């Protein structure tokens, strides 16, 4: 399917509008001129008619601005005025014949006749002095008609010239408007082909400058996203390859009886769990980025979720001799989230706290305006200030970190649901604070 270019469409539309405007002007001009000619002819004939039919004609001119001749009821021109020229008498005879052919009789109607390319307006009245005769009143409007035709020709030439000039001007204006759009279109196409250079064309229109800035920002974001994706896949490949290499090395060692069976199984189980954890985390990120339809929003009491998740990890708390403390309000703290995603956030934060805590982990839930804040604190070492700014980046590991994707998942989940997470750390404790919308 072929599409009209914006320049062609704009030129076509404006040209049609101009042509329509000129056509309306021309039609209106002709209507006004024709009405004026008819009115003048009507006034002249009616004035003459009134004079002829008036009972007091002693001091009146018989004919004011019209021509006339006497005609019999058989439509024979009767020339009583010897001043009539042969041409005039011939015209009267021809006019009488035309009146006869059209069956025109005395009445108040004024008729339009064209004889030898001349325009006449005609009216017939009965002769007040001779009942067997009629008087034909007529007025020639050929001069005005010719003037109208000449004006029409001049008007047509002027409008044609203006239309051509207007078309050329519109074409150049449309070109000046569409050329920047064509440049931006080529720029967008090059971006789609992998070019990540900014557009540096010099535009003067505010809207085009704004569009250019938006597209340049898009290119910058795409470049950053591509770099992040490349780094992400490099890290994922490394994290997946490391446990696989350990498993293969352990199996090879077992094959040559360098290690025993129990040791081999323990290594395989440990590395398998690490692989499973990494794959689960990657699936969570994939579900978040694809807005997966299996994420069902539920109304959850965050206090219950925290207690259930913490209780399920009692063995780890006991092994490390760490206590769990809760600072919850008495009323329910309801948030709307996908249960699986919320469980992942709580689990990742709790696992991270257990990794660094010395003696205790403290959960706290408070209501702040239209939000609910959940914090988990541990009495472990302080996070260095330079690390605090990038601790939520993917594969950013702490001193005792494993993969470095857990906190990144926490941030992704919170942002997906319109919340956010932040960290506060000093020499006494480290806290991760979640902010949920109610």
Helices (H), 193-205: none
The fraction of the chain above a pLDDT of 90, given in percent, is 16
For the cut 50, the answer to whether the pLDDT of residue 243 exceeds it is yes
Q: Is 104 helix (H, G, I), strand (E, B) or coil?
A: coil
| Interval 47-57 mean pLDDT | 69
DSSP string, 219-253: HHHHHHHHHHHHHHHHHHHHHHHHHHHHHHHHHHH
Top CATH class of 296-437 equals alpha beta
pLDDT tens string 394-412: 666 555 544 467 788 888 8
Lowest mean pLDDT among 27-31, 358-362, 372-376: 27-31
Considering only CA atoms, which of 143, 150, 205 is closest in space to residue 178?
Answer: 205
Categorize the per-residue pLDDT at 84 as very low, low, confident or very high, splitting at 50, 70 and 90.
Answer: low
For the cut 50, the answer to whether the pLDDT of residue 63 exceeds it is no
Considering only CA atoms, which of 358, 362, 348 is closest in space to residue 392?
Answer: 348
For the cut 50, the answer to whether the pLDDT of residue 291 exceeds it is yes
Pairing of strands 334-338, 297-301: antiparallel
Q: Which two tokens stand for residue 191?
A: 């971006």
CA-to-CA distance for 289 and 413, rounded, in angstroms? 10
Higher local confidence (pLDDT), 6 or 292: 6
Length of the chain equals: 438
CA-to-CA distance for 298 and 336, rounded, in angstroms? 5
Q: Which helix (H) or strand (E) holds 298?
A: strand 297-301
206-288 in CATH: which number?
1.10.287.130
Which of 160-164, 213-217, 376-380: highest mean pLDDT? Answer: 376-380
Q: Which two tokens stand for residue 200?
A: 């540096």
pTM above 0.75, yes or no: no
pLDDT tens string 86-117: 888 888 888 999 999 988 999 888 898 988 88
Going from N- to C-terminal start, the domains of the chain cover 6-52+62-148, 206-288, 296-437
| Interval 58-65 mean pLDDT | 45
Domain 296-437 in the same topology as domain 206-288: no
């Amino acid at each position: 399917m072929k599409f009209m270019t914006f320049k062609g469409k704009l030129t076509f539309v404006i040209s049609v509008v101009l042509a329509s405007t000129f056509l309306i002007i021309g039609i209106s001009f002709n209507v006004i001129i024709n009405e004026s000619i008819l009115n003048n002819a009507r006034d002249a004939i009616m004035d003459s008619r009134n004079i002829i039919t008036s009972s007091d004609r002693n001091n009146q001119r018989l004919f004011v601005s019209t021509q006339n001749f006497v005609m019999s009821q058989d439509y024979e021109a009767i020339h009583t005025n010897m001043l009539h020229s042969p041409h005039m008498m011939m015209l009267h005879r021809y006019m009488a014949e035309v009146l006869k052919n059209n069956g025109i009789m005395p009445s108040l109607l004024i008729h339009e006749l064209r004889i030898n390319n001349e325009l006449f307006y005609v009216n017939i009245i009965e002769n007040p002095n001779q009942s067997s005769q009629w008087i034909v009143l007529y007025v020639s409007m050929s001069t005005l008609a010719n003037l109208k035709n000449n004006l029409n020709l001049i008007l047509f030439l002027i409008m044609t010239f203006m239309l051509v000039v207007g078309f050329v001007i519109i074409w150049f204006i449309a070109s000046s408007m569409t050329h920047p759009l064509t440049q931006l279109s080529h720029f967008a196409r090059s971006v789609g082909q992998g070019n990540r250079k900014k557009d540096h064309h010099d535009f003067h229109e505010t809207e085009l400058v704004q569009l250019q800035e938006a597209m340049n920002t898009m290119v910058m974001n795409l470049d950053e996203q591509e770099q992040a994706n490349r780094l992400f896949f490099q890290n994922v490949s490394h994290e997946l390859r490391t446990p696989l290499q350990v498993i293969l090395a352990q199996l090879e060692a077992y094959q040559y009886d360098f290690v025993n069976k129990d040791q081999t199984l323990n290594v395989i189980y440990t590395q398998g769990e690490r692989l499973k954890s990494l794959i689960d985390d990657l699936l969570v990120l994939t579900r978040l980025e694809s807005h997966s339809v299996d994420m069902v929003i539920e109304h959850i009491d965050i206090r219950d979720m925290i207690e259930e998740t913490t209780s399920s990890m009692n063995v780890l708390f006991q092994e490390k001799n760490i206590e769990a403390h809760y600072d919850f309000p008495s009323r329910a703290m309801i948030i709307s989230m996908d249960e699986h995603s919320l469980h992942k956030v709580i689990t990742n934060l709790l696992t991270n706290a257990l990794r660094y805590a010395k003696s205790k982990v403290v959960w706290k839930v408070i209501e702040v305006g239209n939000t609910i804040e959940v914090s988990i604190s541990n009495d472990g070492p302080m996070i260095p200030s330079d690390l605090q700014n990038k601790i939520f980046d993917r594969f950013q590991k702490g001193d005792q970190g494993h993969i470095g994707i857990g906190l990144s998942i926490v941030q992704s989940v919170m942002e997906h649901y319109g919340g956010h997470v932040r960290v506060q750390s000093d020499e006494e404790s480290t806290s991760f604070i979640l902010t949920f919308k109610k």
